[in-house]
Amino acid sequence: MQFPKLKIGELVSNVPIVQGGMGVGISLSKLASAVANEGGIGVIAAAMAGIGEPDISTDSTRANMRALEREIRKAKELTKGILGVNIMVALTDFKDLVKTALREKIDIIFSGAGLPLDLPSYLKKGMHTKLVPIVSSGRAAKIICQKWYAKFNYLPDAYVVEGPEAGGHLGFKAEQLDDPNFALHRLIKDVFDALKPFERKHHTSIPVIAAGGVYTGSDIRNFLELGAAGVQMGTRFVATHECDAHEGFKQAYINSTEEDMVVIKSPVGLPGRAVQNKFIMEVNNGKKKPFRCPYHCIKTCDHTKSPYCIALALSCAKKGKLKNGFAFAGKNAYRVNKIVSVKELIQSLRYEFAAAC
């Protein structure tokens, strides 16, 4: 059985997989274009895209805008497939990055880490970019629909529903992460129920994309059978040759065990899932000290009380310098045992999906 197509408005992806946007340089043009070339939706992460720019510590907004513009253009040169940008609401330069992505005519903007209540306001006449919020509850999905339609006469083009097994920053309280009531299949049903009144009233269908812990072709099948239009996968794409991270970052996944998948308290005020290492243990033991903030990247980060800079730690990890940082990872990252090409990965998921069907 073949993969079904994923449709978001007039955009049609031949593979129902969205590659998750992984910030601070993990998913840029190289990875996103490779995924798009295989029929999926490739996503560039806008969060601190300009971490390598010379003026990142003196003019971070301009540096990030410049880098995002460059990465979108590079990706478009490498693929004719569907490309998206992930822009976190919590970013201090959120609106500038949204405007940059729209100016570059990106196909889709994915936006989470907060409710993107004003996102449609940036769309101008003639723009065709799709707007896809990332939520973790039916309540959030309902609020966005209500606000967008009342203020902008616009409904989301799709939703990504992210569960507690995802990597990186999580939209849950620590005690909810292992609570079966917050399992992804329950969250999806919650969002379906929240969207039904809007779909009926406005004679439309809003696709729902399942995210967080999706690992195999069989997982994809399970979520599609629940009614999801597609899935989002981040962790699997880290361990690919095309991933924009250093080989040392990828190797952290390969060398990890199930016990190494830990949840940390991030300086931005959210729990985050990462691979356990010496840096994290030193933070937990109080060996890291407050610092001077060079980037001011996240609105909710209080650097006067934070034991380390999250952007700097993730930047070091991206470069393979894991003594000075750590790798964010989904709950299933320990299952990764080798680095493959994006083509090989999607082909294996295709085989697993067919076998499960």
Q: Evaluate whether 209 touches 231 at the Cβ level (below 8 Å).
A: yes
Task: Check whether 286 has a pLDDT greater than 90.
Answer: no
Cβ-Cβ contacts under 8 Å for 155 (sequence gap 6 or more): 145, 148, 149, 198, 202, 204, 206
Q: Can you tell me the mean pLDDT for 178-198? A: 94
Quote the mean pLDDT of the chain: 91
* Token pair 């940059």 in the structure block, residue: 100
CA angle (260, 347, 110) in 5-degree steps: 65
pLDDT higher for 318 or 140?
A: 140
Architecture of domain 6-245+336-356: Alpha-Beta Barrel (3.20)
The pLDDT tens digits of the residues spanning 31-42 come to: 999 999 999 999
Distance CA 134, CA 115 (A): 8
What are the pLDDT digits (tens) for 99-130? 999 999 999 999 998 899 999 999 999 999 99
Q: Which amino acid is at 9?
A: G
Predicted pLDDT at 288: 59
Instruction: Provide CATH 3.20.20.70 ranges for the chain.
Output: 6-245+336-356
Q: Give the pLDDT confidence score for residue 50 in this predicted structure.
A: 77
pLDDT of residue 57: 77
Q: Give 287's pLDDT tier (boundaries 50, 70, 90).
A: low
Q: Tell me, what's the pLDDT at 296?
A: 60
Mean pLDDT over 154-180 rounds to: 89
Helical (H) or strand (E) element with 251? helix 247-254
Instruction: Assign 291 a pLDDT band (cuts: 50, 70, 90).
Output: low
Summarised one tens digit per residue, pLDDT across range 43-92 is: 999 988 878 888 877 888 888 999 999 999 999 999 999 999 999 998 88
pLDDT at 305: 62
Q: Residue range 128-154: average pLDDT?
A: 97
Q: What pLDDT score does 171 carry?
A: 82
